[in-house]
Structure 1
Amino acid sequence: MLVVKINDLKKMFVTRTVFEQLDAAIAWGEKVAIVGPNGVGKTTLLKMLTGEETPDDGAVVWDPQLDRQRVGLLTQQIQLRDGETVREYVRGARPELLAVEREMRQIETRMSKDISREITAEELVSRYGTLQERYEELGGYTFDSELERVLKEAGVAPEVWETELTAASGGQKTRAQLAKLLLGEPQVLLLDEPTNHLDAETMDWLEAVIRGFAGTVVTVSHDRYFLDRTATRILELSPRQLRSYPGNYSAYQEQKELERRTQQALYQKQQVEMQHLEELIGMYKTWYIRAHNAGGGNKKRTKGHISRMRNKEKQLERLQAARVEQPKEAQSIQLSFNSSEKLGNRLFLVEDMAVRFGGRTLYEEVNFAVERGERIALLGPNGIGKSTLLKVLTGELVPAAGTVNVSPQVRIGYFGQEVERLNPENSILEEVLELETLTQTEARTVLAGFMFRGEAVFKKVGTLSQGEKCRVAFVKLYFSGANVLVLDEPTNYLDIPARQRVEQALQNFPGTLLLVSHDRYMVQRLATQLLLFTPGRVTHFAGGWQAWQEHQERRRYTPEDLQRQEQRMILQLELSRLAEKLDNPHSRPEDRELAAAKLTLVQGQLRALS
């Protein structure tokens, strides 16, 4: 039924309360994502679920039927042991199997030597037979082939398997962790930023694994596209609450906007009521003072005025006690551009281009054109040459063969270089005003749109975090007068609110975009054309990210596969809806009982599909 309940959880660091009064329930088979601003305690909450962190109050209660050894945690910090290879690390997924295997090897060694008097050969053979049976039960004879299959599926190349884990890249370590988790046959997966350092192909694989996983998944991630593809319920973490929203990340965003509009309407209605009451109070007070000053008047009328005034004052007090807070304004960046500039239609023309480093050819016979106003995303694995192509287009590198023609009217703004050019001694405001295209008022308005409000604009650039520096660099680039923006991973180090600001600004940009990004949600929203990188080739796709994904799925899956995926997603959404009803303390007992019966039925249907 329910795999875990979070009851009145509280966590403090020294004297600071990270969060408190957290309550939630998660059902078997759910795919839940935890979202919230940086620093709110999402990773801490995951660690509490595993028992790695202890709450200062409250409790995490797991289903007694759960094998706690089969709760798998993927973290941003992997524990490394000197000399341990990638293969050895992943083999650690089955500790009982490895213990049986070690004892078998020890007995084999002893049996190959003289047998001691204390333990007869018969006893050793008997023990070996028992271990051999257990080894077979645990899948020992197929374990290494299974391990190699999972390593390949996780994107860990065979040449990396015998490499020491300490020498592996960030992406290889993440993939090794994923392979180890899945080999451990978990019932519950807890994933902390699982898509960090992964290329698109491995992320596709991970999404498919999670969607088809029969157990429960709880994810913390800034990857909104990943959450759209895997989550069926969102838990929004704030310092005093875990709020539940059914559906994926996009559905959560829509519900949040509806909440904001509803709260704004309630706030405005209450303000009107309060103003009306204040006017009535003032009117009755004026009438009372006039009647009182007139003297000898009608005492009954005077008392009536004061009685009505006090009645309205009590009504106003009740309204003020139940005051509706004014919601924060919806994220909006108002930008205007001078559109009088005349550009030709074709800005770049690449013909028969080849790029080589030493004796290695990155790609050759590359042909494509970039037209005015197009938004092109460059997609492919890490290290395949996407950033190199951007440098060729900007003139920083020269191709080994072919031609790259650039319109003389093109003015390029290159994000990959802007952060390095910031002056650490300048304040944020001084840095932006160096552009001379914005007044101080305009600069402060724009900076507020990128979450530098009030006194924050006077902070020194040198004291900023990497994410804050990226925001400043983006503002400078955006208003630099460039008509072509070349963006190399512009959302690295940015949290979700900052990414949304960048996206909105780029949607309003009237020029041309060339974009390299692992943020598939941003690519989906912005790109109208794709350049697809494979070893030795660059292919143009005349469509956006969604069209490309649908094209790939039609090639990868049969109609029956796609139908099963759709059935599974519908059932998982229904599962989360029922779990949310069970989790709601205001649900009527009869509604909870009905939801529990339906939830058990849906869980059975999901197991059958998996």
Structure 2
Amino acid sequence: MMIQCKNIQKYHGAELVLSDITIDIRAGEKVGLIGRNGCGKTTLFHLLKGNESPDQGQISIRKGARIGFLAQVPTETVNNTVYDELQKSFALPIEWQVRMSELERWMAAEPVHTGNQSDYDQWLQEYGRLQEKFEEAGGYEMDATIDRIASGLGIPVEQYDRLFTSLSGGEKTKVGLATLLLENPDVLLLDEPTNHLDMSAIEWLEQFLLSYMGTIITISHDRYFLDHVVTKVIEIEDGEAISYHSNYSGYQKEKEARLLQQFADYQEQQKKIKKMQESIKQLIDWGNRSNPPNPAFHRRAASMQKALDRIQKLKRPILERKSMDLQLQQEDRSGKQVLMISKLSKSYGNRTLFHNLNETLRYGEATMLLGNNGSGKSTLLKLILDQESPTSGEVTIGSRVSIGYLAQEQTPQGGKQNVLQYFKEEVGMEEGEARGQLARFLFYGSDVFKDVHALSGGEWTRLRFAILMYMMPNLLILDEPTNHLDIDSREALEEALEEFSGTLLAVSHDRYFINRMARKIWVLEQGELHVVAGNFEDYKEERAKLATNHSQGITTNSSIDTKDAGDTKKSSKASDKRNSASSLVSWESQIAKAEDELQQLDHQMLNPEISRNADQLFLLQQERDEIQQQLDTLYEQWMNAE
């Protein structure tokens, strides 16, 4: 057993957060910890890490087990670069490396010159010991391991020299996650690890965690991630923990069956209690009616009352808990063409984000905008909202279009407004009505007097949805709307959007949300906008087909317009064009082959057996560098030929 918690109780001030937590987690288990926002999941993590102590109960963790914790907001280290942060997990090997370099310098001098053979022998012995420890700790493949993890999570090499404090919240989370994975602890505590990761990074993380040998406990509301990674779900509800030995889909079925059984048991017990109460009442009545009164009836009634008091009363199970009451309606219907993108390009200096985008968003469509971090999704939204100007081309908003925009932003800092004041000011509503509206979004009682800047991510998103609902737009533009929302709130959002008759354009990496909501997918990739009809499963199918074609060396070229003003030119020039086109096809074929080889090498290097073998990893890295160099040359020749 890796972790045991028995009857854990924890207060925050006067508020009881965890009332009776009893869980067992075995070595190597992959556990998903779920529950509503504020139910105490992060508090339990702090107890397991040792940052806090329980007020009651006992926590047992296997002796000598190393625990790594990824917080939602990583701690900052002043003056550290990104690479300094990534190297933290190799602190001891780096110390040994420095000492080994020092010993190498000393031993470079001949014993004759030093005049002390015994010192030389001691240095040699120490160097041998350090070298052995350095090799066991993975010191020789340190740089390759850092590059592998960083690349998988989408941390570019260009970012290594940047100060950690200068990164955005999402970038800091990625670096914190990479640092934790490099530490390779016995127990991984991950708090919302998929927040701020793009889809390719999430998929890479899933594969990494599936092959991870240690114990994993993850707080997550990403239902696809929970389905793919965890084998056990622990739900915290009303301060107690309930375990389900399955992934998220299995948990849903098992929980539904358990609740129905609990409700049936509760009803059966209530019938029994009611029958006993009626019998007690009848016995007392009979005893009182007797002339003279019969004490035997009273004794039987008292005995039955004692039996009733000894019955352990079952709690009435809550079959459906309250979630935010989001009802999205449009004040006025827009025209058929909601959004027209024509020959749209955007560049920052020498860097081109995208070029010549053309697409139309029509009324009633639910479209998801996908792409890796840095592909230009947020920039495209800003162009649509007229918050930035395009380098060329235009975005045209259709007639009678009213936009409701939910940005991916932090709570406002510096202001002293509470939730009620902020909501009243945004929507222009009287206090009584405003409190009623906020209650629909789970802000009850004193919750409305919380400072806005102190709200959690989930609370801030719920407040913004409350404001958005009041605006009644007919075009919803949502940037990562499910981030920080718990599963119940995500499901409430999905149900509201399914009922919404207007138009939806959303940026999201939540695959479950995309699969349920999307009818069309825009993929922003390598500066181009590709369109896939359908949901996430259709997108995966399309991507798998492209990958298969790519691996077989089949390339689908854009149609070439052969008509131009040079039809009257000499036949020799036409021949040159054919030769040029032939060269392009040849280069494209070579590029496809080189990319395929790189992909195969990357898969080999991710293999745990190979990644632990320094010599094999070094050879593979050398081979990869050579192919990458060839690929860069091919790209350059291909671009020049075009």
Instruction: Classify the TM-score, shorter chain.
Output: 0.7 to 0.9
1:43 maps to what in 2? 42
Aligned partner of 2:81: which letter?
T
| Aligned ranges 1:508-547 → 2 under 5 Å | 508-547=499-538
Specify whether residues 417 and 496 from structure 1 end up closer, same or farther in structure 2 by C-alpha distance, changes over 3 A only.
closer
Q: Which of 420, 423, 437 is 1:427 aligned to?
A: 420
SS in 2 for 1:141: coil
Name the CA distance, whole Å, in 2 between partners of 1:268 and 1:435: 47
| Aligned ranges 1:423-462 → 2 under 5 Å | 424=417, 427=420, 431=424, 434=427, 447-453=438-444, 455=445, 459=449
Aligned partner of 1:475: which letter?
A
2:555 maps to what in 1? none
SS in 2 for 1:373: coil
Q: Which of 64, 68, 77 is 2:65 aligned to?
A: 68
Deviates more, 1:340-349 or 1:158-167: 340-349
Confirm or deny: 8 A CA contact 2:420 2:435 kept in the other structure.
Answer: no
Aligned partner of 1:206: which letter?
L
Specify whether residues 550 and 26 from structure 1 end up closer, same or farther in structure 2 by C-alpha distance, changes over 3 A only.
farther
Confirm or deny: 8 A CA contact 2:328 2:499 kept in the other structure.
Answer: no
Confirm or deny: 8 A CA contact 1:284 1:308 kept in the other structure.
Answer: no
SS in 1 for 2:141: helix
Name the CA distance, whole Å, in 1 between partners of 2:426 and 2:122: 84
Q: Which of 104, 109, 122 is 2:100 aligned to?
A: 104
Confirm or deny: 8 A CA contact 1:331 1:501 kept in the other structure.
Answer: no
Confirm or deny: 8 A CA contact 1:353 1:365 kept in the other structure.
Answer: yes
Deviates more, 1:107-116 or 1:455-464: 455-464
Indicate yes or no: 2:89 matched with 1:93.
yes
| Aligned ranges 1:357-396 → 2 under 5 Å | 357=348, 360-396=351-387
Deviates more, 1:533-542 or 1:93-102: 93-102
1:464-506 C-alpha deviation (Å, 9 max, x unpaired): 7264443233123224232221222334454444333333322
Indicate yes or no: 2:471 matched with 1:480.
yes
Confirm or deny: 8 A CA contact 2:338 2:361 kept in the other structure.
Answer: yes
Aligned partner of 1:115: which letter?
T
1:526-556 C-alpha deviation (Å, 9 max, x unpaired): 2222111224222222121233234445666
Specify whether residues 25 and 428 from structure 1 end up closer, same or farther in structure 2 by C-alpha distance, changes over 3 A only.
same
Aligned partner of 1:148: which letter?
D
1:144 maps to what in 2? 143
Aligned partner of 2:206: which letter?
E
Specify whether residues 496 and 342 from structure 1 end up closer, same or farther in structure 2 by C-alpha distance, changes over 3 A only.
closer
Q: Which of 389, 401, 407 is 2:398 aligned to?
A: 407
SS in 2 for 1:515: strand
1:193 maps to what in 2? 192
Indicate yes or no: 2:547 matched with 1:548.
no
1:227-247 C-alpha deviation (Å, 9 max, x unpaired): 232111111235753210122
Name the CA distance, whole Å, in 2 between partners of 1:331 and 1:460: 20
Confirm or deny: 8 A CA contact 2:77 2:165 kept in the other structure.
Answer: yes
1:253-311 C-alpha deviation (Å, 9 max, x unpaired): 4433444444444555555666677777778888888xx5xxxxx859x8699679948
1:347 maps to what in 2? 338
Specify whether residues 452 and 95 from structure 1 end up closer, same or farther in structure 2 by C-alpha distance, changes over 3 A only.
closer
Confirm or deny: 8 A CA contact 1:413 1:485 kept in the other structure.
Answer: yes
TM-score, structure 1 length as denominator? Answer: 0.74
SS in 2 for 1:120: helix
Confirm or deny: 8 A CA contact 1:193 1:221 kept in the other structure.
Answer: yes
Aligned partner of 1:481: which letter?
M
Specify whether residues 489 and 435 from structure 1 end up closer, same or farther in structure 2 by C-alpha distance, changes over 3 A only.
farther
1:132-156 C-alpha deviation (Å, 9 max, x unpaired): 4444454443333333333322322
Q: Which ranges of structure 2 fall in alignment gaps of 5 or more residues?
A: 550-607, 612-642
Q: Which of 441, 455, 469 is 1:465 aligned to?
A: 455
Aligned partner of 1:515: which letter?
A
Name the CA distance, whole Å, in 1 between partners of 2:482 and 2:186: 34
Q: Which ranges of structure 1 fall in alignment gaps of 5 or more residues?
A: 293-297, 559-606
Aligned partner of 2:153: which letter?
A
Aligned partner of 1:128: which letter?
Y
Deviates more, 1:364-373 or 1:164-173: 164-173
Deviates more, 1:224-233 or 1:8-17: 8-17
Confirm or deny: 8 A CA contact 1:333 1:501 kept in the other structure.
Answer: yes
Aligned partner of 2:359: which letter?
F
| Aligned ranges 1:229-244 → 2 under 5 Å | 229-238=228-237, 240-244=239-243
Name the CA distance, whole Å, in 1 between partners of 2:365 and 2:443: 30
1:571-592 C-alpha deviation (Å, 9 max, x unpaired): xxxxxxxxxxxxxxxxxxxxxx
Specify whether residues 510 and 257 from structure 1 end up closer, same or farther in structure 2 by C-alpha distance, changes over 3 A only.
farther
Aligned partner of 2:476: which letter?
L
Name the CA distance, whole Å, in 2 between partners of 1:458 and 1:79: 29
TM-score, structure 2 length as denominator? Answer: 0.71
1:581 maps to what in 2? none
